[in-house]
Amino acid sequence: MPNPTASMLVIGDEILSGRTRDANMHYLAGRLTEAGIDLREVRVVSDDAPAIVAAVKALAAAHDHVFTSGGIGPTHDDITADCIARAFDDHIDIRADARDLLAAHYAASGREFNAARQRMARIPDRATLIDNPVSVAPGFTLENVHVMAGVPSVFKAMVESVLPGLTGGAPLLSQSVRIDRGEGDIAGPLAKLAEDHDNLSFGSYPFIENGAYGANIVIRGTDAAQIDAAVHALETLFAETP
């Protein structure tokens, strides 16, 4: 059975303006690979309701799971929850379960549970809450979309809240072999090797280091022994053709 598929939607002007470098994509990608869920696509859109709604609809229809990051805080530019509700034609308002969590948290910390903070309790009717052990304000899952915060520490905590409930496939394993030659020298034999191992994938990721060309060849698959054999074949191949 093929692994479940996933996509990610990063919501935030700050990434598109170059002000902030996204950190959540890299974290999610690594965790999904370990869980045997294939991340097929990532989109980054701005804090713009039509763009968010259109992207959520397209990704939810195309993949088993969608993970979103960003736009669920208390400020005026936090519009993700309302956009998700709109994408799935669900009703959204301050919901008692989320409000109770937040009210208890602010009562305990002596801070005012004001109108802005109550916005963080806006949850679509049909959604289930995602636990936030870092800062309490919950994410939520609606249909196949998991809606999470953009602050990296909170995003990570929410991913760890969601993942145990998902059915993964065989973890995608990989090994990397560094070859200190230009890709042009290795491309021919490498293509032949990839053809001979058609249930593994061979990626070639070139680099330039101190003016010299090289490439990391990454062999991926779900069978550790097959990958070991391919790594051995690769190393032998380029040891023999200096």
How far, in Å, CA of 124 to CA of 232, rounded? 53
> Residue 167 Cβ, how far from its own copies at the closest point, in Å?
20
- Return the range that interacts with its own copies (CB under 8 A); candidates 35-43, 82-90, 140-148, 225-233: 35-43
Interface residue with its own copies, options 63, 95, 99, 117 (CB under 8 A):
117
- Helix-then-strand count for the chain, H and E: 9, 11
Cβ nearer to its own copies, comparing 114 with 236: 114
Is 204 strand, coil or helix? strand
Cβ nearer to its own copies, comparing 111 with 232: 111
Minimal CA–CA distance to 227: which of 205, 206, 202, 204? Answer: 202
Q: Which run of H or E residues covers position 157?
A: helix 152-162
Contact set for its own copies, span 164-183 (CB under 8 A): 172, 174, 176, 182-183
CA-to-CA dists, residue 71 to 78, 144, 151, angstroms: 4, 18, 10
> Residue 126 Cβ, how far from its own copies at the closest point, in Å?
26
Contact set for its own copies, span 126-145 (CB under 8 A): 134-135
Print the binding letters for residues 147-166 with its own copies: x by CB under 8 A, - otherwise: ---xx-xx------------
> Residue 116 Cβ, how far from its own copies at the closest point, in Å?
3
Interface residue with its own copies, options 49, 104, 107, 187 (CB under 8 A):
187
Contact set for its own copies, span 191-230 (CB under 8 A): 191, 194, 201-208, 213, 215, 218, 220
**Tokens matching residue 227:** 């990958």
> Residue 15 Cβ, how far from its own copies at the closest point, in Å?
7
Q: Is the dihedral of CA 10, 13, 17, 23 positive or negative?
A: negative
> Residue 52 Cβ, how far from its own copies at the closest point, in Å?
11
Helices 24-35 and 152-162 cross at an angle (nearest 10°) of 20
Contact set for its own copies, span 50-69 (CB under 8 A): 51
Length of the chain: 242
How far, in Å, CA of 9 to CA of 129, rounded? 19
